[in-house]
Structure 1
Amino acid sequence: MACQLPADCLNEIFEYLEIDKFTLHSCLLVNRLWCETSVRILWRNFFDFKFDHKRPLFKIYSSILSTLIACLPDESKNLLYNNGIFILTPTSKPLLFNYASFFKALSIYRINMMIVNVLENGLSLISKDKNSLVANEIIKMLANQITSLKKLSCYHSHYYKHNFNISFPYFPGARDLSELCCSSDLPSDFFNQLSQICHNLQSISIDFRSIVNSSVKDLISSQNNLKDLNLSAFDDGSWTDIIPAITKHSHTITKLKFRSDNDFSSFSFISSFTNLQKLLFLFLGEVIVDFTKLQYVNFSKLQILKIPYECPKPEYVMKFLENNGKNLKEFYTGENSKDLSLSIARFCPNLKNLFVLFNNGELDVLKTILISCQYLESIKIWCGINYLSEKEVLETVAKYSTNNFCELKIHHITTSDASPDDLESFFICWERRTPKKLLSFTIIGNIEYQLHCGYNSLETLKVIEKYENLGIIKFVTKSKNEGSEEGEQF
C-alpha cells in the first residue's frame, strides 16, 4: 500500500524547494492532496505572475476575476445582476475550492486595475459606480474569507488614475498582517481599525501627498517589532509629523528607505537607529540629502547604503564612509567624484557590490578599487561619452579583479567601443582563471534605439554564444529603466 504524505509535510516540501509556478501547475494533476496543496500556494498571492504575448494581461485578469465572482455569496451575485453587471464564471458547477480563503496578500489597487481592464476594455464601457460596486463586493468577500492576511497594499485616488470609491470592511484576518503598503490620506477608520488589531507589522510603506492623518501615527506607534520602513513624500506631502512615532522604533528598525521630490532640511533623527543595516535615499529634482550631521554618526551594523540620484556633498559622504565603510557590503551612488571613489577604496575594504560613476580618464581609480576591495563580487560601471570606455574596463577587470569577482554590469551611454576580439580576449582571460567561476555579464542600454548598444552584430553574438555554451559566462541584457531600478531596491 502506497504511503501518503500528510498535507502539512507536502506543503513544507513545496515551500522548501521553492517550486516555481509552472511546476506547481503540473502538481495540480497528481491527486487531490497535491492539487489542494498547490492551489493554496498559487492563490496566496494571485497577482504575483509574469505575462507576455502568449498570456495577454486581459486574459489573465479575466480568468482571475471570473473565479472571484464565482466565489461571491449569492447575495453579492444578485446585487451585481440587478445592477446590470454580468460576468461569466468559469463553470456553472460549484468550485472545487474556496479560492478566496487562500489569499495571504491583497492589493486594492491591483483589484481596481483588474476590474478596469476586464469590464471597461474587455466588454464595454460601464460607469465608475458599477466598477466600484464590483470592487466593494469582492473586497467585502475577501475580508470575510481571508483568515490570515500577511500583506495589504492600498493607495488613495491621488496616487493612481483608476481608483474607485472603496468602503474598507472589517478585516479580522488582518491580525496576522506583517506588511502594509498604503497612502497617508486614507480614511481614519482604516488606520484606527488596523491600530486595534495589528501590532506585529514588520514592514510599513507609506506615501505622503497631503497632511498626515493623525491615526497614521497611532498605527506606527502601536507596533511591537517594526523592522522595515519605507517613506515617500510627493507634492506637498511630508512625513515630518510622524518622526516621533518613527523614532520610537529606532532600536528595532533595520531598514530605512526615503523617497521624495521635496526639500527636507535634515535627517539627523536617523542617528538614533542603532541597529540600522540598510539605508536608501531616493531624492529627485533639486533635493539634496543633508548629511551635515549624519556624516559623523557611527552605524555599527550598516551593510547597505544607496543614494542613486541626487547625492549629498562628496566630502560629507567621504566622512560617512570613514566612520561606516568598514562594515559596508554594498554601496550605490550616482556621484562622479574622484575623491569619493578613492575613499571607497580606502574605507570600504569589505564591499561585495558597488556602483559608482567613473569619469573619462579615471581608469586608475577603478584599478585601485579592484585591488583594495578584495571581497568585491559585483560592480556596475557606466561606459561611453564622458565616462570610461568598455574596452578599457574589460582589460582592467580581467587583470585586477580578485577571485571573488563574478558579476560585471556595463551601462552604456553610447554604443560600445569593444570589438568582438576585445570581448573574446576578455572571456579567454576569464576562462583561464583559477579557480574557475561563472561570470554574469550584463549589458544595460537603450534597446529601443539600438539593440543592446552594439551587441547585436553577428560576430559579437557568436563570441557571446560560444562562451555561454562553454559555461564561462552568463549573458544578460537589460533596458536602461531596468538598470536604474536596481539602485532603488534592497
Structure 2
Amino acid sequence: MTCQLPSDCLNEIFEYLEADKLTLHSCLLVNRLWCEISVRILWKNIWNFKSSFQQHDTLRIESSIISTLFACLPDESKELLHKNKIFISTPTSKQPLFNYAAFFRALSICEINRMVDNAFKDKPLISPLSLKDRNYLVMNEMIKMFASQIYSLKKLSYRYYYNINFSFPYFPGVKDLSELYCSSNLPSSFFHQLSKVCHNIQTLSIDFQDHDASNELKEMISLQNNLKNLTLSTFDVSWENIIPALKNHSNITKLYLYGNFDNLPFSFVSLFPNLQEFIFSFLGGEDFENFRTLQYVNFSKLQTLKIPYQCPKPEYIIKFLENNGKNLKKFHISESDKAFNLSIAKFCPNLKNLSAIFNNGESDVLKTIFINCQQLESIKIWCGEGLLTEKEIFEIVANYSPNNFCELKIFNESYTGISSEDLECFFISWKNRIPKKLLTLINIKDDYTYDLDDFEENRKIIEKYENLGIIKFRTIEYEEEEKGEFYYY
C-alpha cells in the first residue's frame, strides 16, 4: 500500500526546489497531484524559469510560454483576435489542462510585450491591422486576462518606454503587491488605481522618463505602509518633486540611485537613518557637488556602500567614511586615489568584502588595508597597465591577508599576466599559510583582457592545486559579475 504525502506537505517541499527548475520540472511527470503542485510553482515566476536555460533555448521557451498563454485566453478574446485574423499556434487544440495565467505571482508587462513581438516576428501580416496595432491588441487581451485571473500578484514590472500604451484594467490581485518596478510617465490612472488597493509595497523602483512624478505617483508612494527598498533611476529629468512623498518612509533600508548626470539633489538620503545598503551608480557626472551635504550625515546601520562608476570628490567620500565606515561590511569603489584607499584602512576596520583599484606603486596601501581590516574575507582588484600587477597582488595576498580571507577576484585589464612559475609560487605560499583555508580564486574576464587560465601551463597548475584542495578556481564574465553586483530588476 502506497503512502501519499498531503498536498500541503508536498507544496512546502516543492517550494524548496523553486531555484532548481529542471528538477522541479521532472516532478510534473510523477502523478496528477505532483503535476498540479509543480506547475503552480513553475509558473508563478516564469522569468526565473527562463533564466535557467541557455541563451539558444530562450526563443523556444518564450514561444512555448506565449502559445500556452494564448490557449488560456477566454473565448471572447480568442474570437476578437480571430476576427482580426490574428493567430498563434497553441500546444493542443483542446482546452489547456490548467489555467496557467492564474498561477502568475510575478508579471513583467515589458517582457510579455517583447515575447508577443517575437511570436509574430518574420510572420506575414494577414491581419487588417497594422503591425503595431496587432501586437497592441494581443497585449491588451492578455493583460485583461491577467487582471481577471491573478488573485495574488507579488511582483509587477511595468515601464512605459517599451511603447506600451494600454489602459490598465481593474486588477484586484495587486492588493498583495510587494514589489513594483515602474516608470514615472505611466498613465496617472494606473497609479491612482494602485493607491486605492495597494498599500504594502516593500520594494519600489522608479525610472524617471520624460517628466517628473505625477501627483498620483506621489500619492501612491505616500500611502505605502512598509516601504523598505527604493531605487531611483533617471537619465533626463530630476527626481526632486518626489522627495516630499518619501518623508514618511524613514524605515527604508536599501537605496539604489542610478543616472547619467550630476545635477540631482542627494540631501534627501538623510531622510533614511536606518539605511543599511546604498548604491550610488552614475555616469556622465563630474564632481557630484550635491553629494557634499551627505558627507556629514551619520547612518549608524549602514553595512554596504557601492560606487561602481563615477565618484563624488574623494574628500567627500573620505569624510563620509569617517562618519560611517566603522559599521561597513561591504564597500565597492571605482576611485583609484591613494589618499582615498588609505582612508579605507583607517575608517573601515570591519570590512568583510572590498572592491578597489590600486595604482602602480601602491602595494603598501593594499598591505595596510589587509593589516587594518582583519575581518576581510573577500577582495576584488583591478590590475594591468598603470595598476598593481597580478604578481604583486598575489604576493601581498599570500603574506598579508587576514586569517579569515578566502576569496580573491582578479580583473586584469591588460593583455599580459602572471607567469606559471609565479602562479605556482602563490599557490605554494597559500598552502603553507596557518591557519589553512581554501581560497576561492575568481578570474573576471571580457573579450579584450587576459585570462588567468589562458595558457595550458597555468591551467595544469590550477588543476593541480584544485585537486590538492588548496584553491577553488572559476572564471566569470565581466558583465555577469557587474550584473550580480549592481543590477536592479
The TM-score bracket by the shorter chain reads over 0.9
The one-letter amino acid paired with 1:275 is: N
| Partner Cα separation in structure 2 for residue 92 and residue 155 of structure 1 | 34
Deviations 1:31-76 (A, max 9, x none): 2222111111110011222266684322111100110011111111
Q: 1:45 to 1:396 in 2, by over 3 A?
A: same
| Partner Cα separation in structure 1 for residue 484 and residue 101 of structure 2 | 34
Q: Does the 8 Å contact 2:18/2:24 carry over to 1?
A: no
Q: TM-score, normalised by structure 1?
A: 0.94
Secondary structure of residue in 2 paired with 1:231: strand
Per the alignment, residue 272 of structure 1 pairs with 271
Q: Does the 8 Å contact 1:416/1:454 carry over to 2?
A: no
Q: 1:197 to 1:274 in 2, by over 3 A?
A: same
Per the alignment, residue 259 of structure 2 pairs with 260
Q: Does the 8 Å contact 1:212/1:238 carry over to 2?
A: no
Per the alignment, residue 324 of structure 2 pairs with 324
Matches within 5 A, 1:72-151: 72-121=73-122, 123-124=123-124, 127-151=131-155
Cα offset, 1:86, TM superposition: 1.2
Q: 1:232 to 1:394 in 2, by over 3 A?
A: same
The one-letter amino acid paired with 1:363 is: S
Per the alignment, residue 212 of structure 1 pairs with 213
Q: Does the 8 Å contact 2:304/2:328 carry over to 1?
A: yes
Cα offset, 1:486, TM superposition: 4.7
Per the alignment, residue 235 of structure 2 pairs with 234
| Partner Cα separation in structure 2 for residue 19 and residue 449 of structure 1 | 33
Aligned residue pair count: 481
Q: 1:260 to 1:288 in 2, by over 3 A?
A: farther
- Unaligned runs of 5+ residues in structure 2 are none
| Partner Cα separation in structure 2 for residue 16 and residue 215 of structure 1 | 39
Q: Does the 8 Å contact 2:21/2:52 carry over to 1?
A: no
| Partner Cα separation in structure 2 for residue 437 and residue 145 of structure 1 | 53
Q: 1:15 to 1:428 in 2, by over 3 A?
A: farther
Q: Does the 8 Å contact 1:414/1:453 carry over to 2?
A: no
Secondary structure of residue in 2 paired with 1:89: coil
| Partner Cα separation in structure 1 for residue 436 and residue 71 of structure 2 | 55
Is 2:251 aligned against 1:247?
Answer: no
Per the alignment, residue 294 of structure 2 pairs with 294
Cα offset, 1:449, TM superposition: 3.5
Cα offset, 1:457, TM superposition: 1.1
Q: Does the 8 Å contact 1:415/1:454 carry over to 2?
A: no
Cα offset, 1:244, TM superposition: 0.8
Deviations 1:411-444 (A, max 9, x none): 1110243111222222223333444433221112
Matches within 5 A, 1:10-409: 10-16=10-16, 18-48=18-48, 49-50=50-51, 55-121=56-122, 123-124=123-124, 127-156=131-160, 159-160=161-162, 163-209=163-209, 210-235=211-236, 237-250=237-250, 252-289=251-288, 290-409=290-409
The one-letter amino acid paired with 1:383 is: C
Secondary structure of residue in 1 paired with 2:181: strand
Is 2:471 aligned against 1:470?
Answer: no
Cα offset, 1:3, TM superposition: 2.6
The one-letter amino acid paired with 2:471 is: I
Deviations 1:355-380 (A, max 9, x none): 11111000011111111111111111
Cα offset, 1:272, TM superposition: 2.6
Cα offset, 1:454, TM superposition: 5.6
The one-letter amino acid paired with 1:440 is: T
Deviates more, 1:25-34 or 1:131-140: 25-34
| Partner Cα separation in structure 2 for residue 288 and residue 205 of structure 1 | 25
Deviations 1:429-487 (A, max 9, x none): 333344443322111233x235x536321111122222233333232223333344454
Deviates more, 1:147-156 or 1:397-406: 397-406
Deviations 1:267-307 (A, max 9, x none): 22222311110111111112443332211111110001111
Cα offset, 1:20, TM superposition: 0.2
| Partner Cα separation in structure 1 for residue 100 and residue 53 of structure 2 | 25
Deviates more, 1:86-95 or 1:423-432: 423-432
The one-letter amino acid paired with 2:451 is: C
Cα offset, 1:342, TM superposition: 0.8
Per the alignment, residue 480 of structure 2 pairs with 482
Per the alignment, residue 459 of structure 1 pairs with 457
Q: Does the 8 Å contact 2:295/2:319 carry over to 1?
A: yes
Deviations 1:120-177 (A, max 9, x none): 24x3356111011111111110111101000000111xx34xx333221111000000
Q: Does the 8 Å contact 1:385/1:414 carry over to 2?
A: yes
Q: TM-score, normalised by structure 2?
A: 0.94
Deviations 1:290-326 (A, max 9, x none): 3322111111100011111111111111111111111
The alignment's C-alpha RMSD in Å is 1.8
| Partner Cα separation in structure 1 for residue 194 and residue 54 of structure 2 | 40
Q: Does the 8 Å contact 1:51/1:57 carry over to 2?
A: no
The one-letter amino acid paired with 2:469 is: G
The one-letter amino acid paired with 1:239 is: W
Cα offset, 1:332, TM superposition: 1.0
| Partner Cα separation in structure 1 for residue 437 and residue 65 of structure 2 | 43
Q: 1:437 to 1:11 in 2, by over 3 A?
A: farther
Q: Does the 8 Å contact 2:239/2:264 carry over to 1?
A: no
The one-letter amino acid paired with 2:231 is: N
Deviations 1:217-243 (A, max 9, x none): 0010000000000001112x2210010
Q: Does the 8 Å contact 2:17/2:24 carry over to 1?
A: no
| Partner Cα separation in structure 1 for residue 465 and residue 363 of structure 2 | 26
| Partner Cα separation in structure 1 for residue 426 and residue 470 of structure 2 | 11
| Partner Cα separation in structure 2 for residue 146 and residue 124 of structure 1 | 33
